[in-house]
Structure 1
Amino acid sequence: MNQREIIAILRGLRSENAIAVTDVLINAGITKIEVPLNSPDPFVTIEKMVNHAGDAAQIGAGTVLTIAEVDRLSDIGAAMVVSPNCDQDVIAHTAAKGMASYPGVFTATECFAAIQLGATGLKFFPAFKLGPDGLSALKAVLPADVATYAVGGVGPDDFANWYKAGVTGFGLGSNLFKPDWSIDQIETAAQSAVTAFDRVFG
């Protein structure tokens, strides 16, 4: 599986488009894919994607707020749980279920709480408010091996500055996908994001 650290955030994805969008992203080299739970019929969509490409990509949900949602995602074979917040119960339960956990954090307190509970990586959200300088300051005290993702108001044009600050990867939403975009538009955006990532991260 390709290891580019780009998480595709498919907010608003409809089930009937799920397979085509999943294939386009994987073919472009993006293999971490989340469908936020405030999308239409998200569990149906995620299960469809997992059954189609769960062996080729890490597929899961975003905007996960409860352990009941974690259980439902586990039941349909999802591999990833992404949240906007640092909920201790959700993080611990996700880890216990064997799924990757990406909780939203912003402060040192939230970062260390998430790490202690078994988070796979830290989702800095909203990243544009923290900025690369803020991440750099936090990286000075975080364990060197912890994965960090900038999410929210960050696009391919910002990759280089965040890379210099030590970020691991990015979560891309509207830079990568909009519900009314054609498959060709999504493909172009995905290829552009991958090209920008490879240029910066080598």
Structure 2
Amino acid sequence: MQNEFDLPKPYHPHARFMAAFASCPLIAILRGVTPSEVVAHGQALHDAGFRIVEVPLNSPDPLASIAALRKALPADVIVGAGTVLRTEFVGDVARAGGELIVMPHGDTDIIRTAKEQGLACAPGVATPTEAFAALASGADVLKMFPAEQLGTHVVKAWRAVIAKRVPLVPVGGVTPENMNTFVAAGANGFGLGSALYRAGQDAATTAEHARAFIAAWRDVNKEAAR
């Protein structure tokens, strides 16, 4: 039974990010992409149906890639940065046109800084304590990381105590074949890394992988609706 303690108040998720997430709750992670190729991959993802794309900051010249994506892609796409490890990086991402901060950890200072600057934030959390601290600091969604270590049983346990309107987003080891088990446990979306994009692959391969994930997501939702 959910009660007033399920969700720290106020919970005001980033409207544009949540609209994109509602359209397609699959977050594309382009780790290792370069500025010269990023637009082709971004367009392939958009054409397949993706509406959220992140460039991890440990990629080559990531801010240039973020700026190029923001300029090239339609306004309904949210472009952001992943692997944001320090608060000062938030401003760099915002100045490049980024609208989303994704982290592997639950640093509450980074979350608060992102929200103060008007960006959405998806912190990485691995325990309920981290999850509720992140929400209290303004997190828009909870990135359950690493998903292959946490497993579906943890997603199910968290779903029982975290308000349903808070999206749970497993990241790590997600494939088109295993999304259904996470969704059945209570996941609302996914962050997709190497199964979608690996550094050096061409845009045609990214498009093929993107279509496979979109098709799998649609199948999962059809099954859940039965």
TM-score (normalised: structure 1): 0.97
| Match in the other structure for 2:191 | 171
Q: How does 1:25-44 map to 2 (within 5 A)?
A: 25-44=45-64
What SS does the corresponding residue of 1:156 show, helix, strand or coil?
coil
The one of 124, 133, 139 equivalent to 1:113 is 133
Contact (CA 8 Å) 2:125, 2:144: kept in 1 or not? yes
Of the three residues 97, 120, 131, the one matched with 1:77 is 97
Cα distance, 1:54 vs structure 2: 5.2
Which runs of no fewer than 5 residues in structure 2 stay unpaired? 1-19
Supply the distance in 2 between the matched residues of 1:155 and 1:41 (Cα, whole angstroms): 28
Query: Is 2:23 aligned against 1:3?
Result: yes
SS at match of 1:11: coil
Aligned-partner SS, 2:81: strand
Q: Does 1:122 align with 2:163?
A: no
For the residues of structure 2 that align with 1:144 and 1:30, how far apart are their CA atoms? 23
2:191 partner amino acid:
G
Query: After the TM superposition, which parts of structure 1 deviate over 2 Å for at least 4 consecutive aligned residues?
Result: none
Q: Deviations over 1:70-126 (max 9, x none)?
A: 011111221111000000100011111111100000100000001111101000000
Q: In 1, distance between residues paired with 2:97 and 2:169? A: 24
Q: CA deviation at 1:201?
A: 1.8
Q: Which whole-Å CA distance do the structure 2 matches of 1:43 and 1:120 have between them?
A: 22
Measured in 1, the distance between the counterparts of 2:81 and 2:170 equals: 17
Deviations 1:121-161 (A, max 9, x none): 00000001110111101111111210110101121111110
Mapped partners of 1:182, 1:71: distance in 2? 31
Q: Give, in whole Å, the separation in 2 of the partners of 1:190 and 1:138.
A: 28
Name the residue aligned to 2:181: 161
Q: Which residue of 2 aligns with 1:53?
A: 73
Identity over the aligned pairs, expressed in percent? 37
Task: Output the CA distance in 1 between the equivalents of 2:50 and 2:221.
Answer: 14
- Taking a change above 3 Å as real, the CA distance of residues 54 and 41 of structure 1, as seen in their structure-2 partners, is farther
TM-score (norm 2): 0.87
Q: Is the 8 A contact 2:29 2:53 kept in 1?
A: yes
User: Deviation digits for residues 27-72 of structure 1, max 9, x if unmatched?
Assistant: 0001110000000000111111111115131000000011110011
Kindly indicate whether the alpha-carbon contact (under 8 Å) linking 2:33 and 2:200 is maintained by their aligned counterparts in 1: no
Query: Aligned pair 1:22/2:42, yes or no?
Result: yes
Q: Is the 8 A contact 1:26 1:56 kept in 2?
A: no
Number of equivalenced pairs: 202
Amino acid in structure 2 at the alignment position of 1:81: I
Query: Matched residue of 1:15: which SS?
Result: coil
Considering only aligned residues, what root-mean-square deviation do their CA atoms show, in Å? 1.1
> Which residue in the other structure is 1:195 paired with?
215
Alignment partner, residue 118 of structure 2: 98
Letter in 2 for 1:192: A
Q: Distance in 1 between matches of 2:78 and 2:117?
A: 15
